[in-house]
């Protein structure tokens, strides 16, 4: 009996140790870099910007081991404190699904609106896309164009490109090649290869701008140098015509 009691005690002790371990924080990831360690200390003290940046570090694996659960947790902490970039990032996680967050368009729209209240341009852009696609809201091309314009006029290149496309296609706005070319050029000047290709096409075809093969080729070349295949094809086609 004594031996049985000792064995039972040993089993119970092992069980209690295991149970206690379940209540402990997860073992730390791979050693943090000094910069990541300092960032985590600030985040743990409640600094919303640090929380957002730490979430981004866990998402990209910058200075820490990639960890989707930690990325979500720190982004959410920051968003719940009202930090607009984190609110937009959390909205994007709900829009596309990330980590343990399942895609939820309605929640995405909620967080994008919260960020938009703080004039977060990325949130304006995302709301424009949600209205254009009818995700989490009733599809409304005019509303989409309105949100995209807010961001585009503030210099946000993705929205400038998208607004150019809406003017070119007449979605939510009256079709207008001059406006399309204007916004494509704005985005192209900020280095977007897709916009550089588009403004090149506008110059090649004389739509919204005075036809100019030299300008078209220059923009196609810029986009091609960034690896944009369509622009490379457009450039080759123009060079073949000259020969």
Decide: 36 and 57 in contact? Cβ < 8 Å. Answer: yes
Is the pLDDT at 138 greater than 90, yes or no? yes
- Given pLDDT bands bounded at 50, 70 and 90, which one contains residue 16? very low
pLDDT at 186: 98
Structure tokens at 20: 């206690």
CA distance 123 to 147: 9
pLDDT at 44: 97
Please give the average per-residue pLDDT across 70-91, as a whole number: 98
Buried b (16+ CB within 10 A) or exposed e, 26-38: eeeeeebeeebee
Place of tokens 């929640």: 107
Nearest to 143 by CA among 159, 152, 131, 151: 131
Domain ranges of the chain: 42-118
pLDDT at 30: 59
Q: Determine the Cα–Cα distance for residues 191 and 184; give it in Å rounded to an integer.
A: 11
Residue 45: pLDDT band by 50, 70, 90 thresholds? very high
pLDDT in tens, 111-122: 999 999 999 999
Q: For residue 113, what is the enclosing H or E element?
A: helix 105-116
Which homologous superfamily is 42-118 in? Answer: Tetratricopeptide repeat domain (1.25.40.10)
Instruction: Work out the widest C-alpha separation in the chain, in whole angstroms.
Output: 100
Do 206 and 199 touch, CB atoms closer than 8 A?
no
3-state class of 145 per DSSP? helix
């Amino acid at each position: 009996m004594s031996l049985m009691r000792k064995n039972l005690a040993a089993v119970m002790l092992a069980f209690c140790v295991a149970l206690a371990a379940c209540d402990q924080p997860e073992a730390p990831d791979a050693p943090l870099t000094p910069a990541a360690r300092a960032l985590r200390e600030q985040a743990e003290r409640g600094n919303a910007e640090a929380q957002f940046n730490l979430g981004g570090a866990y998402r990209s694996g910058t200075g820490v081991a990639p960890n989707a659960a930690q990325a979500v947790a720190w982004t959410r902490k920051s968003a719940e404190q009202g930090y607009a970039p984190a609110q937009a990032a959390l909205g994007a996680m709900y829009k596309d699904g990330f980590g343990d967050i399942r895609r939820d368009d309605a929640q995405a729209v909620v967080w994008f609106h919260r960020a938009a209240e703080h004039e977060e341009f990325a949130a304006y852009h995302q709301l424009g896309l949600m209205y254009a696609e009818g995700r989490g809201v009733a599809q409304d091309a005019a509303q989409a164009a309105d949100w995209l314009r807010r961001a585009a006029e503030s210099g946000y290149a993705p929205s400038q490109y998208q607004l150019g496309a809406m003017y070119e296609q007449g979605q939510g706005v009256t079709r207008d090649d001059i406006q399309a070319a204007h916004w494509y050029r704005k985005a192209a000047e900020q280095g977007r290869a897709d916009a550089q290709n588009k403004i090149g096409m506008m110059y090649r075809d004389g739509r919204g701008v005075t036809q100019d093969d030299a300008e078209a080729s220059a923009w196609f070349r810029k986009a091609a140098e960034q690896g944009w295949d369509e622009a490379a094809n457009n450039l080759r086609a123009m060079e073949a015509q000259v020969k």
